[in-house]
């Protein structure tokens, strides 16, 4: 059975969705860079090992990342899952765990990298918005895309209403991608393109883009 560690910074709603999905994965630990993160309490109640590593106790970003890397090395997970981890990881950390770090981003990458993605989507007038699970590379929000979930943008959407629908889609998308990883179905080609194996053509297309119906 493959194993993961989950990195969070706050409440960890995606973490909670993952832990509640009965995935064929061993959760080695939930780690937070903020000791007061509510997600740590949620994980503890679910019987998951938790670790608090206060990033402010380290002299630099690089020093924290090195301490975090050593902690992860001791846990020996197959994958590192970023679930609301509000830190930009340094390039040495990412290269140390190359092709093993996955992240979820609240937009249909490569559109709207960075912060405030829902406002950017509304301001741009796009009709489809969503979330992306991707492998992490040193270039921010740019790694190989594993799968995406799309939601429609309505004329009366606010930043908050759109964010809520995208978050609900994330809670479906992230556990599904982790299930594929657990089953060894995620094939990262040398070209940087990801394919989900072991599915028929129609399922493959559906796997790469989950269209979430409107309520």
CA distance 192 to 11: 32
Specify the CATH superfamily of domain 104-215.
Formyl transferase, N-terminal domain (3.40.50.170)
Question: The tokens of 84 are what?
Answer: 């609301």
User: Hey, where are the domains in the chain?
Assistant: 1-97, 104-215
Please give the DSSP secondary-structure letter assigned to residue 148: E
Residues of the chain above pLDDT 90, percent: 92
pLDDT for 200 beyond 70? no
| Sequence-separated (6 or more) residues with CB below 8 Å from residue 6 | 12, 15, 18, 27, 29, 30, 31, 43, 81, 83
Residues 39/10, Cβ–Cβ less than 8 Å: yes
CA distance 24 to 183: 8
Question: The tokens of 4 are what?
Answer: 């993961």
pLDDT digits (tens, 9 = 90+) for 81-106: 999 999 999 999 999 999 999 999 99
Distance set, CA 45 to CA 26, 39, 72 (Å): 17, 10, 22
CA distance 61 to 64: 5
What's the average model confidence in pLDDT over 162-181? Answer: 97
Q: What pLDDT shows up at residue 215?
A: 42
Domains 1-97 and 104-215 share a fold: yes
105 assigned to active site: yes
pLDDT digits (tens, 9 = 90+) for 104-158: 999 999 999 999 999 999 999 999 999 999 999 999 999 999 999 999 999 999 9
Q: What pLDDT shows up at residue 198?
A: 84
Would you place residue 207 in the very low, low, confident or very high pLDDT band (cuts 50, 70, 90)? low
| CATH 3.40.50.1980 matches 1-97 | no
Conformational region of residue 3, where left means phi above 0, alpha means psi within -120 to 50, and beta covers everything else: beta
Q: What pLDDT shows up at residue 32?
A: 98
What pTM value is reported for the model? 0.93
CA distance 17 to 27: 13
Catalytic residue among 49, 55, 58, 105: 105
What's the average model confidence in pLDDT over 4-11? Answer: 98
């Amino acid at each position: 059975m493959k194993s993961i560690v989950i990195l969070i910074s706050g409440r960890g709603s995606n973490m909670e969705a993952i832990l509640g999905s009965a995935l064929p994965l061993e959760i080695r630990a939930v780690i937070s860079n903020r000791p007061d993160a509510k997600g740590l309490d949620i994980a503890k109640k679910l019987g998951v090992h938790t670790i608090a590593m206060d990033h402010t106790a380290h002299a630099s970003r690089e020093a924290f990342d090195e301490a975090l890397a050593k902690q992860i090395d001791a846990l020996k997970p197959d994958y590192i899952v970023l679930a609301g981890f509000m830190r930009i990881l340094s390039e040495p950390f990412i290269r140390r765990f190359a092709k093993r770090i996955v992240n979820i981003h609240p937009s249909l990458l490569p559109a709207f990298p960075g912060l405030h993605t829902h406002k950017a989507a509304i301001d741009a007038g796009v009709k489809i918005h969503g979330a992306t699970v991707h492998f992490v590379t040193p270039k921010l929000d740019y790694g190989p895309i594993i799968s995406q979930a799309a939601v429609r943008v309505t004329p009366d959407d606010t930043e908050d209403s759109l964010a809520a629908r995208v978050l609900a889609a994330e809670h479906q998308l992230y556990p599904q991608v982790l299930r594929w990883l657990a089953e060894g179905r995620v094939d990262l080609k040398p070209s940087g393109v990801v394919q989900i194996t072991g599915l028929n053509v129609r399922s493959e297309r559906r796997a790469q883009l989950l269209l979430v119906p409107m309520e």
